[in-house]
Amino acid sequence: MSQRKFTEHLQAQFFDLIGGVIEKKGRHVAQSYFYILRPMNDSSAAAVSKYSDLLAKVMKETPDNTFFIKLLKSTIDDLQVMEKGREASRTWLS
């Protein structure tokens, strides 16, 4: 079954909690947490802005945390590519 409707309301917490995991856990664990739990269902501009806001916060507060910054930047890239693909599909189907 699609689990999206059960997890959607929890996903906003990801942006508040992932920083703590990155800070406390080693690279391998933190990376697994990030990639497994990051919300990727929605590729709209509003969803991308959640990552952009977190990226801006991290770059301001801990600019040396390149590991976290790279994770966020790559996710924004992934979502933008996904959105382009979805847009192309919508155009093709219309």
Which of these segments, 7-15, 49-57, 71-79, 81-89, binds other proteins (CB under 8 A)?
7-15
Check binding of 33 to other proteins (CB under 8 A).
yes
Cβ closest to other proteins, residue 20 vs residue 85: 20
Closest CA to 62 of 33, 28, 23: 23
- Of 30-38, 40-48, 61-69, 75-83, the window that binds other proteins (rule: CB under 8 A) is 30-38
Q: Please pick, from the candidates 6, 60, 61, 90, the single residue that binds other proteins as defined by CB under 8 A.
A: 6
Q: Burial code of 50-77, b = ≥16 C-beta within 10 A, e = fewer?
A: bbeebbeebeeeeeebeebeebbeebbe
Pick the binder of other proteins from 15, 34, 37, 71 (CB under 8 A).
37
Cα distance from N-terminal residue to C-terminal residue, the chain:
28
